[in-house]
């Protein structure tokens, strides 16, 4: 075991606000590290002092940290001071990972109950606690409950599974109560289902109760919609029989007031919160279909266009020769009119070989010729930040992650494309979200290179590239 790891294991994650970044710096110098490593460690230790200003900006957020000796989890604030001791076996949302929504569970009666595959988006990246109760696993019982920002249980750990709060309710599962929802006061307000999704825009989807067959209710591998009171919602509320209530082939994820019901005959069908069809989006060109579509963010949604032979005949190679991405607004119109410069669809697809979700009026997109990423103005579809990155994530609060083409490391840019944090993160939040709103902290890993003893540090960094707190992987 190296001196760096020994120091971290001896001292744990943090002691009374003395951050692990400082401990890492001491350990590197003690180990006789190379000048590059020493400079890196010194930099991280000195920069951590700059984190104090972050606390004023993000005082309402806490950040998940792991004790390097026990592997248990707790929380630190934006200055790196430990607020909740590391005493939980796991968390329902870990740093660098999307807050999980999909899980499978095998109860003792050997029937499979599960939370359906459902593309839900949360307000905060993985490992960040806001004002909602946060799912945590009790170390002694391995049961799940929810804690508040003081680390106290607000929902006792009595569940086999628990998910991040969404729309003010947390999705839980237990053998005796099935899948259901708890509120911030710890009350199970809806329960008894064999499967359920988290709420989005006031709607959740369920697949029935265990005794439905005895009552003659058939689910037919479909889902029904409910509102936050547990009453039937959308088309399920209009159905004449209990069986007819299960009228959705898959759950619908609502965001920005619209939900993607599915792709029908090459068109993307969106419904509103009443269940009525709001948009039917087509490519507008023969031989070109919409193969997939995403939810709306900031008023825009990405769509995958499938041209089959139409584009190949027009001389465009592209992905598989026939695929490209577009962006639509809430009227169903394409942001970039493909006929603006040419009657050929090749004009559009030559622009975007990939596309992200909108944020701060911009959207990350890949230039299909160079393979580099930049940022489009969401309204016009024109480049606002020219493609020069090998990866790009959505903007949030005037900042975004971007991957430096030369080094392959991630850094942080402002809305003009200028680096505010020099690229050095080898990996980062993998949840497709950007910086923490009002907090500006990011989670990632960076390696001190040079010499025989390499040191890899993981943790939370601020938008200026200063480690707030870190630990060795």
Whole-number Å distance between alpha carbons of 455 and 43: 14
**What is the mean predicted confidence (pLDDT) over 218-235?**
91
- Quote the pLDDT of residue 5: 26
**What is the mean predicted confidence (pLDDT) over 106-133?**
63
Closest-CA residue to 306 (of 294, 327, 321):
321
Helix axis angle for 35-47 and 20-30, nearest 10°, is: 160
Helix axis angle for 3-11 and 20-30, nearest 10°, is: 140
User: 99: pLDDT confidence band, cut at 50, 70 and 90?
Assistant: low
Q: 290 vs 452, which has greater pLDDT? A: 290
Q: What is the pTM of this model?
A: 0.77
Looking up tokens 């639509």, which residue turns up? 328
User: 308: pLDDT confidence band, cut at 50, 70 and 90?
Assistant: low
Task: Please provide the average confidence, as pLDDT, over all residues in the chain.
Answer: 76
The alpha carbon of residue 17 and the mean position of all alpha carbons in its chain are separated, in whole angstroms, by: 29
- Quote the pLDDT of residue 339: 42
- Quote the pLDDT of residue 289: 83
Please report how many Cα atoms fall inside a 13 Å half-sphere around the Cα of residue 302, on the Cβ side: 19
113, pLDDT greater than 50: no
Question: Please, where are the H alpha helices in 102-212?
Answer: none
CB atoms within 10 A of CB 435: 24
Q: Please calculate the CA angle 443-118-251 and round it to the nearest 5 degrees.
A: 155
- Beta carbons of 311 and 321 less than 8 angstroms apart: yes
Residues 6+ apart with CB under 8 A from 121: 200, 253, 255, 295, 297, 433
Whole-number Å distance between alpha carbons of 433 and 125: 6
Residues of the chain above pLDDT 90, percent? 35
Whole-number Å distance between alpha carbons of 166 and 241: 30
Give the tokens for residue 222. 């479909």
Whole-number Å distance between alpha carbons of 267 and 249: 17
User: 75: pLDDT confidence band, cut at 50, 70 and 90?
Assistant: very high
Closest-CA residue to 363 (of 353, 376, 352, 350):
376
Residues 6+ apart with CB under 8 A from 313: none
Greatest mean pLDDT among 5-9, 70-74, 316-320: 70-74
- Quote the pLDDT of residue 421: 87
Q: What residues are paired with 255 via a beta bridge?
A: 258
Residues 6+ apart with CB under 8 A from 207: 116, 193, 194, 195, 196, 219, 222, 223, 224, 246
In the chain, what are the domains?
A: 99-256 (no CATH), 257-294+298-393 (2.40.128)
DSSP structure string for 284-303: SSTT-EEEEE---BTTEEEE
- Quote the pLDDT of residue 2: 31
Greatest mean pLDDT among 81-95, 271-285, 309-323: 81-95
Q: 405 vs 430, which has greater pLDDT? A: 405
114, pLDDT greater than 70: no
- Quote the pLDDT of residue 13: 27
**What is the mean predicted confidence (pLDDT) over 111-132?**
67
- Quote the pLDDT of residue 219: 86
Residues 6+ apart with CB under 8 A from 95: 63, 64, 126, 127, 429, 443, 458, 460
122, pLDDT greater than 90: no
- Quote the pLDDT of residue 157: 96
- DSSP structural state of residue 209: B
User: 362: pLDDT confidence band, cut at 50, 70 and 90?
Assistant: very high
Lowest model confidence (mean pLDDT) among 157-171, 272-286, 331-345, 416-430: 331-345
Q: How many helices (H) and strands (E) does the chain have?
A: 6, 33
- Beta carbons of 97 and 431 less than 8 angstroms apart: yes
Q: 99 vs 45, which has greater pLDDT? A: 99
- DSSP structural state of residue 63: E
Closest-CA residue to 387 (of 356, 417, 423):
417
Q: 252 vs 310, which has greater pLDDT? A: 252
**What is the mean predicted confidence (pLDDT) over 416-427?**
86
Whole-number Å distance between alpha carbons of 33 and 453: 7
Residue 447 backbone phi and psi in degrees, to 5? -115, 135
């Amino acid at each position: 075991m190296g001196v760096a790891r020994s120091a971290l294991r001896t001292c744990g994650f943090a002691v009374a606000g003395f951050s692990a970044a400082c401990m890492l710096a001491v350990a590197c110098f003690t180990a006789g590290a190379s000048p590059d490593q020493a400079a890196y460690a010194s930099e991280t230790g000195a920069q951590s002092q700059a984190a104090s200003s972050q606390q004023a900006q993000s005082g309402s957020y806490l950040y998940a940290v792991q004790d390097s000796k026990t592997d248990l989890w707790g929380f630190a604030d934006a200055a790196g001071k430990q607020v909740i001791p590391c005493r939980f076996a796991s968390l329902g949302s870990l740093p660098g990972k999307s807050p999980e929504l999909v899980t499978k569970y095998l109860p003792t009666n050997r029937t499979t109950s599960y939370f359906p595959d459902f593309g839900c988006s949360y307000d905060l990246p993985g490992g960040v606690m806001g004002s909602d109760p946060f799912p945590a696993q009790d170390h002694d019982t391995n049961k799940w409950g929810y804690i508040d920002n003081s680390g106290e249980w607000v929902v006792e750990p009595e569940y086999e599974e628990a998910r991040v709060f969404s729309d003010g309710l947390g999705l839980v599962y237990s053998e005796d109560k099935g899948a259901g929802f708890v509120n911030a006061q710890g009350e199970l307000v809806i329960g008894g289902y064999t499967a359920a999704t988290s709420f989005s825009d006031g709607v959740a989807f369920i697949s029935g109760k265990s005794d439905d067959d005895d009552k003659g209710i058939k689910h037919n591998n479909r889902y029904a919609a409910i509102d936050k009171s547990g009453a039937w919602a959308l088309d399920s509320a209009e159905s004449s029989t209990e069986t007819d209530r299960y009228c959705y082939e898959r759950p619908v994820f609502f965001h920005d007031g619209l939900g993607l019901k599915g792709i029908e005959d090459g068109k993307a069908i969106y419904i509103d919160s009443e269940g009525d069809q709001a948009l039917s989006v087509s490519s507008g060109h023969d031989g070109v279909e919409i193969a997939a579509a995403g939810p709306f963010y900031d008023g825009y949604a990405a769509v995958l266009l499938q041209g089959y032979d139409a584009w190949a005949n027009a001389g465009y190679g592209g992905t598989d020769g026939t695929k490209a991405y577009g962006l639509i607004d809430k009227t169903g119109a394409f942001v970039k009119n493909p006929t603006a410069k040419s009657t050929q669809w090749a004009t559009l697809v030559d622009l975007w070989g990939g596309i992200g979700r909108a944020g701060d009026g911009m959207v990350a997109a890949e230039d299909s010729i160079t393979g580099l990423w930049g940022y489009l103005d969401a309204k016009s579809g024109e480049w606002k930040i020219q493609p020069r990155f090998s990866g790009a994530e959505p903007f949030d609060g005037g900042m975004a992650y971007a991957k430096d083409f030369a080094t392959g490391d991630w850094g942080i840019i402002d809305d003009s494309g200028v680096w505010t944090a020099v690229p050095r993160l080898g990996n980062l939040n993998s949840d497709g979200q950007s910086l923490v709103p009002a907090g500006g902290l990011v989670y990632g890993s960076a390696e001190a290179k040079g010499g025989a003893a390499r040191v890899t540090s993981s943790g939370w960094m601020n938008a200026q590239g200063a480690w707030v707190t870190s630990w060795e992987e």
